[in-house]
Amino acid sequence: MEHNIKKRSSFSGGIGFVLAAAGSAVGLGNLWRFPYLAAQYGGGIFILVYIILALTFGFALMSTEIAIGRKTKQSPGLAYKTLHKKFGFLGYLAALVPIIILPYYCVIGGWVVKYMVTFVSGQGLSAAEDTFFPTFIGDTGSPLIYYAIFLGFTAIIILLGVNKGIEKISKFLMPLLLLLSVVIVIYVFTLPNAAEGIKYYLLPDFSKFSVMTVCAAMGQMFFSMSLAMGIMITYGSYSRNDVNLTKSVNQIEIFDTIVALLSGFMVVPAVYIFSGEAGTKASGAGLMFVTLPKVFEQMNGGVFIGALFFVLVFLAALTSSISVMEAIVSSFMDRFKLSRTKSSVICLIICVAMGIPSSLGNGIWSHIKLLGMDFLTFFDYLSNSLLMPFVALCTTILVGWIVGPDVVTDEITKNGEKMGRKKLYRIMVRYVAPILLVIILISYSLAQFGIITM
């Protein structure tokens, strides 16, 4: 009950809020998905499309979620109901998304910890062997132990609370993350033939441009900005009324996009130089855990750079996982009037129960399939390809057509701040964003059933 009587926690100011939200946004999506998509979809042209989408579509969705959070001062579970009583169902869906994501994200976080430990302890060369990754994730005990370690780190920060945990760690880790990225990029620039690799990354290749470029950029932006996961609503609910939201949204987007671009500079040229164009075709886990260790093996000082790189990935994944866990814990706290500790314990129990199949699905439980997918892939599909675009679509309908965009624009301008791109916002939230979200839903579904390739 104590939470009920206590005032809601809040970030101490604009910077704490921006860095925490940027911490959520910058994650595996920036480091393992953006570089690969950029290489795949025509380099510079993909980057350009991505930036335009971030400034329009991303700006509209992020402003909406943060404003809903700050206005209602509720976590996602209750925020939608507070806006409109018929939209309570959306709250449940929005709260379900982080519950599905957290367990499998922490399983992958565990893999990152394993690689970080391997590289930092000087064993990086062993990670370049073909059997290293499949043997590790196919094992029963050790991925579970690394999963528990990653989840443990996440839980400790959540237990410390909004100010002493999330805000403090974000203020420390985010600048460090940026610094590490810059150091690695500088190193990559000094590699022999770096210019060729950079050209491959940046030069627009129009022959690779198609409608799919736009679909891929849209999906990537959506995931990368942590939209429709309940996170921005939760963090918005912790932002103080005197914080300038337009400025904050811009800063969060800029931070996220800069790290994505830097990741491209870290990964694409190095992979291109050492494994040729074919190497850049590896995506996701394959790129990070199989191709990159091979690249580090061939580089001078590769074990050291590899260690820096996996520390960076670890920090990025950690600040993302704390944001997902916080979205769940705050929903439990608000909905059931529980203390932070009790909510965290319940969240941990659910996470362990759902994480175990995600981990074992790569090994002893690999024969169990859901819609033809192992557990981890299935949870990823369910959240990213179905629930998130659906939640975002309902949100734009609620804000654009039912309660009206003024609810958001009034919240953003309530202290007399100007809202830049206000007209654009209205058009985006009413017309463009819903259409784009329907396109995302359709293209993901078609891709899932092999009708198109993304």
11: closest CA among 165, 167, 154, 156?
167
What's the closest the beta carbon of residue 229 comes to ligand PHE, in angstroms? 6
Can you tell me the distance from the alpha carbon of 96 to that of 89, in angstroms, rounded to the nearest whole number?
11
Give the residue with the Cβ less far from ligand PHE, 25 or 308: 25
324: closest CA among 149, 112, 94, 168?
94
Cite the DSSP H helix spans in 121-193.
132-138, 141-160, 168-189
373 neighbors 421 (Cβ within 8 angstroms): no
Number of neighbouring beta carbons within 10 Å of residue 131: 9
What's the closest the beta carbon of residue 284 comes to ligand PHE, in angstroms? 11
Give the residue with the Cβ less far from ligand PHE, 250 or 321: 321
Can you tell me the distance from the alpha carbon of 286 to that of 19, in angstroms, rounded to the nearest whole number?
29
Print the SS3 string covering 190-211: CCCCHHHHHHHHHCCCHHHCCH
Tell me the backbone φ, ψ of residue 355, rounded to 5 degrees: -75, -35
What's the closest the beta carbon of residue 25 comes to ligand PHE, in angstroms? 5
What's the closest the beta carbon of residue 322 comes to ligand PHE, in angstroms? 9
What's the closest the beta carbon of residue 418 comes to ligand PHE, in angstroms? 28
Give the residue with the Cβ less far from ligand PHE, 323 or 409: 323
Query: Under DSSP, is residue 338 helix (H, G, I), strand (E, B) or coil?
Result: coil
Give the residue with the Cβ less far from ligand PHE, 259 or 429: 259
Footprint of ligand PHE on this chain (CB under 6 A)?
24-25, 27-30, 101, 105, 223-224, 226, 229, 320, 323-324
Give the residue with the Cβ less far from ligand PHE, 64 or 226: 226
What's the closest the beta carbon of residue 36 comes to ligand PHE, in angstroms? 13
Give the residue with the Cβ less far from ligand PHE, 25 or 169: 25
Give the residue with the Cβ less far from ligand PHE, 231 or 412: 231
Number of neighbouring beta carbons within 10 Å of residue 390: 18
Q: Measured between alpha carbons, how far is residue 2 from residues 163, 337, 339, 341 in Å? A: 18, 8, 7, 11
**What residues does 373 pair with on adjacent strands?**
370
Instruction: Kindly state the helix (H) or strand (E) to which residue 273 belongs, with its residue range.
Output: helix 245-279
What's the closest the beta carbon of residue 49 comes to ligand PHE, in angstroms? 18
